[in-house]
Amino acid sequence: MRGIIVLASLCIANLNYVLYNSLGLNPIEKSSIRIISISLLLFSILIQKNAIKIRPIDLVWFFFSMTALFGFSFNDKIFNFSYLLLVIIVSRSISIDKYYKYFNYFNLFVAFLLIIFLQLGITQNVEQIIGDRVRSTFGFNNVNAFSNLEYSILMVYLLSRKTIKLTHIIINLIVLTFIFNYTDTRSVLYSILIFLLFYFILRSFMKENLKYKNVLKGFITIICIIPLVLSVVSPFLLKNYPILDKIFSLRLTLNTFYLETNTMKTFLLGGTTERDVDNGYLLLLCSMGITFFIFSLVLIVKSLNILIDAADSKSVSFIISFLYYNALESLLVRPELFIGLLFWMLIYKTATEKRDRGKALV
């Protein structure tokens, strides 16, 4: 019963993102749906209080996520990570593989709903002209909002497969190519291809008794740090390699401007930022502060090492793909979509569970 309530709550939060960005819900309507979602989570705690356990690591997460309050600042990202912690606490006994399965089913419903909206004229497939690029919104307020949903749907579909077969890849690539022709969204294309590339490479030779496992761990860690480093050194890249700015749709310019408009206070403590940017790392750093930022990196690296030990090529490839996606988008700090939620659940559950991952999450 509690599991059903938790799943319903998370599906409502995901649907809230879709309705807000497609139907243009006002802030009161958006907040009302969010309150319903949170209320269901709290209700799930009340009906089974004895099953809920607060661990020391939970208190560490909560304390580090609240450092911005020491600077008398608050922003929606602090709320997002408090919400994430609540979800993690109430869903510890639920297998993450079950989330993959049921989220995939709900994504099919969302895709069907969006098609109905377009066919009935409830939403309009507006074309946005940006420079020499013509990009369709598929009924959303902007292309990036739709692209985030697209990445979430395609990645959850792959994650929900016990074994990724050629037919799954073909279906995924057909949908990806079709949407790319209309949206010209390279971030989704790059990230899905990165997932498939690493999945097949790692699956080919990553075994539990791999001789050079520590070398692989170091290599994967470096691979995952690259998008973070590139985000932080955006001003240097913009000055010395301006061609990269054009390739990545002026992301370097936007990152540089964002970094320059934030203060040492936001870097150290986090807090209110003047604007958002399409970069999960910079938003995480400036919204939550350096302490929570480092804490998050430690959890990510620890979970990667555990997953490599378990020869879980699918989960490792997902983490790599998601981290690269966040050099171009900001789902790292937006858990309302399934894929952002699943990333943090996977990281947290893997890094903090002492038992065998497969047994601990069933």
323 touches 139 (CB < 8 A) = no
Confidence at residue 267, expressed as pLDDT on a 0 to 100 scale = 87
With a cut of 50, say whether residue 362 has pLDDT above it.
no
Tokens for 318, please give them.
């997902």
With a cut of 90, say whether residue 153 has pLDDT above it.
yes
Confidence at residue 129, expressed as pLDDT on a 0 to 100 scale = 83
Confidence at residue 213, expressed as pLDDT on a 0 to 100 scale = 85
344 Cα distance to chain centroid:
7
Tokens for 74, please give them.
């608050």
Model confidence at 109, pLDDT cuts 50, 70, 90, reads very high
> Which amino acid is present at 161?
R
pLDDT tens profile 300-341: 999 999 999 999 999 999 999 999 999 999 999 999 999 999
Could you tell me which residue, 204 or 29, shows the higher pLDDT? 29
Domain membership of residue 273 (yes or no) is no
Tokens for 106, please give them.
């709900």
78 touches 123 (CB < 8 A) = no
Model confidence at 273, pLDDT cuts 50, 70, 90, reads low
- DSSP characters for 247-312? HTTTHHHHHHHHHHHS-HHHHHH----SS--S-HHHHHHHHH-HHHHHHHHHHHHHHHHHHHHTT-
- Could you tell me the residue range of the domain that residue 207 belongs to? 2-229+282-360
With a cut of 80, say whether residue 274 has pLDDT above it.
no
Mean pLDDT of 24-52: 89
Domain membership of residue 239 (yes or no) is no
Q: Find the helix packing angle between 76-90 and 338-352, rounded to 10°.
A: 60
> Which amino acid is present at 306?
I
CA distances from 17 to 12, 24, 70, 130, 230 (A): 9, 10, 30, 24, 29
With a cut of 70, say whether residue 104 has pLDDT above it.
yes
Lowest-confidence pick of 207-216, 274-283, 312-321, 323-332: 207-216
With a cut of 70, say whether residue 360 has pLDDT above it.
no
Q: Which of 144, 157, 151, 145 is nearest to 192 (CA)?
A: 151
317 touches 202 (CB < 8 A) = yes
307 touches 361 (CB < 8 A) = no
346 touches 315 (CB < 8 A) = yes
Outline where the chain has alpha helix (H): 2-22, 27-47, 56-65, 76-90, 96-119, 143-159, 166-183, 186-205, 213-232, 234-240, 242-247, 251-261, 264-269, 280-288, 290-309, 313-325, 338-352, 357-360
* Percentage with pLDDT > 90 across the chain: 70
Interatomic CA distance for residues 133 and 27, integer angstroms: 31
Model confidence at 232, pLDDT cuts 50, 70, 90, reads very high
Model confidence at 29, pLDDT cuts 50, 70, 90, reads very high
Domain membership of residue 241 (yes or no) is no
Mean pLDDT of 147-173: 96
With a cut of 50, say whether residue 358 has pLDDT above it.
no
Tokens for 329, please give them.
């988008």
pLDDT tens profile 40-77: 999 988 887 777 788 889 999 998 888 777 766 677 88
Domain count, the chain: 1
Confidence at residue 137, expressed as pLDDT on a 0 to 100 scale = 95
Mean pLDDT of 254-270: 89
Strand partners, 332: none
Interatomic CA distance for residues 157 and 103, integer angstroms: 9
Q: Which of 8, 3, 15, 5 is nearest to 337 (CA)?
A: 15
Domain membership of residue 238 (yes or no) is no
With a cut of 90, say whether residue 188 has pLDDT above it.
yes
Model confidence at 354, pLDDT cuts 50, 70, 90, reads low
* Mean per-residue pLDDT of the chain: 90
Lowest-confidence pick of 78-87, 98-107, 262-271, 332-341: 262-271
Model confidence at 99, pLDDT cuts 50, 70, 90, reads very high
143 touches 172 (CB < 8 A) = no
With a cut of 50, say whether residue 212 has pLDDT above it.
yes
Residue that has been written with the tokens 């649907």 in this structure: 15
Tokens for 30, please give them.
């958006």
Considering 225-229, 273-277, 286-290, 355-359, the range whose residues carry the highest mean pLDDT is: 225-229
* Percentage with pLDDT > 70 across the chain: 94
Mean pLDDT of 333-358: 84
Confidence at residue 268, expressed as pLDDT on a 0 to 100 scale = 87
Domain membership of residue 252 (yes or no) is no
Confidence at residue 23, expressed as pLDDT on a 0 to 100 scale = 95
DSSP state of 140: S
Confidence at residue 93, expressed as pLDDT on a 0 to 100 scale = 78
